[in-house]
Amino acid sequence: MPVPAPNLYPDFNVIRLSHTCLNVADLAASKAFYTTILGLQVTDEDDNRVYLRAMEERGHHCVILQKSDQPGTVEVMGFKTYDEDDLDRAEVFFKAKGQPTEWVERPYQGRTLLTRDNVGIPLEFYHKMDRLPAIHQQYALYRGVKPLRIDHFNCFTPDVDASVGFYTDMGFRVTEYTEDNESKKLWAAWMHRKGGVHDMAFTNGTGPRMHHVAFWVPTPLNIIDLLDLMATTGYVGNIERGPGRHGISNAFFLYILDPDGHRIEIYCSDYQTVDPDHEPIHWDLKDPQRQTLWGAPAPKSWFEHGTEFVGADTQEAVLKAAPIVAP
């Protein structure tokens, strides 16, 4: 199936990804990991939740850690709209797609629409979030990998073509994609709203499940520092893949797991995709430089492990094609 033409005038206007709520077993242990190892800043907390932001962010939070009896699951993924009226247009859009819609109360957010995409990923859209003072020049606060901002989500979907079609209708544009040469179906795709390589990516697999959430850091050296920190503070077993440079996106990367198994990518050095006529880059599924520019394949866990979404039933992937996997 060809990559669909971009929809430059969608029914409502999403600016970017915004935040996610991750369910955890031990709130104190998760807080310690996200603050002392990753370096996110606490903006508020209570007995059940910890709200966090990265160093460049002015919005109240990009991650919510939530104590739950379903640890290792994802509650929701959040996106910011251009204005308030976009929320009403989004409600009409999702209802027309046959998806459930609900107006929900969220701390530190204005009016918020909760819904699901075509494969069941829980999504929420808002326009207003409490704004906080800038801290990006308070260098004494920098810890861990020194994260600057949340960058993207990547999700397993049982049908990449269907997910790409749905998000194209929402105005997301494909920057790069992997195609299975035999079936001509999409195996993975990277889609954006904010002008980077992606706000949301889709990977073929049992889904919906979250593959990872990514944070942007200043330089590859920050990733090296994080590896040294994790290796000497009891987290060496949480290092899954990398460091390396992706063929897709050109990003320098590292994949790690938090205490509940949520995969996190540390990410920098991708490229700008603002032009509306930006042409997507094609990759063959069997290209060894697709996963890593240097040719190193990803481990089996990278293609199999993901965290489920609350309330979403998973299905096996329609496409059975397999990528190159490390022995």
Q: Are residues 208 and 59 in the same domain?
A: no
- How far, in Å, are 80, 200, 239, 314 from residue 62 at the CA level? 11, 15, 22, 26
Give the model's confidence band at 43: pLDDT under 50 very low, under 70 low, under 90 confident, else very high: very high
Asked if pLDDT for residue 327 goes beyond 80, the answer is no
Q: Does the residue 23 lie in any domain?
A: yes
Q: Are residues 47 and 179 in the same domain?
A: no
Q: Are residues 240 and 120 in the same domain?
A: no
Asked if pLDDT for residue 2 goes beyond 90, the answer is no
Q: Does the residue 302 lie in any domain?
A: yes
- 279: domain range? 143-308
| CATH code of 102's domain | 3.10.180.10
Structurally, the chain folds into a number of domains equal to 2
What confidence tens digit (pLDDT) does each residue in 233-290 have? 999 999 999 999 999 999 999 999 999 999 999 999 999 999 999 999 999 999 999 9
Q: Are residues 285 and 152 in the same domain?
A: yes
Q: Are residues 199 and 252 in the same domain?
A: yes
Confidence at residue 1, expressed as pLDDT on a 0 to 100 scale: 63
Average pLDDT for the chain: 97
Q: Are residues 36 and 179 in the same domain?
A: no
The answer to pTM > 0.95 is yes
Q: Are residues 158 and 181 in the same domain?
A: yes
Q: Does the residue 321 lie in any domain?
A: no
Q: Are residues 74 and 111 in the same domain?
A: yes
What confidence tens digit (pLDDT) does each residue in 285-309 have? 999 999 999 999 999 999 999 999 9
- The mean pLDDT of 71-99, rounded to a whole number, is 98
Q: Does the residue 137 lie in any domain?
A: no
Q: Are residues 224 and 279 in the same domain?
A: yes
Q: Does the residue 316 lie in any domain?
A: no
Confidence at residue 285, expressed as pLDDT on a 0 to 100 scale: 94
What confidence tens digit (pLDDT) does each residue in 134-165 have? 999 999 999 999 999 999 999 999 999 999 99
Confidence at residue 200, expressed as pLDDT on a 0 to 100 scale: 98
Q: Are residues 167 and 303 in the same domain?
A: yes
Q: Are residues 125 and 160 in the same domain?
A: no
